[in-house]
Amino acid sequence: MFTIRSFGQRRHCETAATLHGALASEYRGRSVAVQFRTPRGLKRSVFVDVTEDGLIVESYGERRAVDFEQCVAY
């Protein structure tokens, strides 16, 4: 499960596909944090920017596109 955090508001998404859909439709033009647990049980946070086009990119670093399917794989 994923949790979108934005200025004290939380939204839970069960799958990476529903997460991507929620980010692309409801969070365009905003920066948010996405939290999830790795297969080893560690809690991880990824800070992302959602562009006006609905593209989800890293907020910091190389600003690469984020694939949440791969994020939960390790």
> The whole model's pTM is what?
0.87
Contacts of 9 (CB under 8 A, 6+ apart): none
Q: Name the strand (E) or helix (H) holding 2.
A: strand 2-6
Give the confidence band of 72 by pLDDT, cuts at 50, 70, 90.
low
**Which of 73, 9, 64 minimizes the C-alpha distance to 36?**
73
Tokens describing residue 24: 């692309």
* Residue-wise pLDDT tens digits, 21-60: 999 999 999 999 999 998 888 999 999 999 999 899 999 9
pLDDT at residue 38, as a whole number: 86
